[in-house]
Structure 1
Amino acid sequence: MKKSADLKRLPFEAEDVLLALSERVRVARRARQLTQADLAAKAGIGLSTVVAIEKGAPTVQMGYWLAVLWALDLLQGFSTQVGQLGREEGDVALLEAQLPKRVRGASR
């Protein structure tokens, strides 16, 4: 089976964030004195997925990242940061008020 080379390509900034997050996961796991196998079992995922997460592999599904963050008790901090994505000072409330309630595709 041919693997797509595009799956491994990320913008440099995104790659840096992914590598930093993977390092934080590795440090948090070690600080809690968990083996990779222990973390995999607690998160309900495979050992190879934990290894890929700690390497910063861009092909790991977001759900697996969230399971690992939950298993390390880091999900609350992560969800707080996600809630701030795309928010600028005061601009969001104005923009949200102007957004349509529904977005429909083009009719045929």
Structure 2
Amino acid sequence: MPNKHSRRLSLRSWLAALFRQPPAGFYRTPSIYQSGNRLEVEHFRAILLYDEDQLRLQMPRGQLTICGDGLRILTLTADRLTLSGKILRVDFSDEQEA
């Protein structure tokens, strides 16, 4: 029967595991966060369509469509968009821009 203490990591191994590099591409992975009437999208490629009822974004592997009422872009940077309004539906399709 294995000894319980044989599974313990040394301090050096534990620190190395704690500060290891994340998997390749980890920091550029698209993310979507919603809080109340705000929605934040990170790491999209382009805005394909925008009006007060719909926002369509080109993502690395498809398109993200956000439908709602009174949609308004609050902030826009090279890799982050913050949207406000009444968000009714969020759809994803694997279609690529033609």
TM-score (norm 2): 0.25
* Structure with the largest fraction of strand: 2
* Structure with the largest fraction of helix: 1
TM-score (norm 1): 0.24
Could you say which structure has the greater relative contact order, defined with CA pairs below 8 angstroms and 6 or more residues apart?
A: 1
Larger Rg: 2
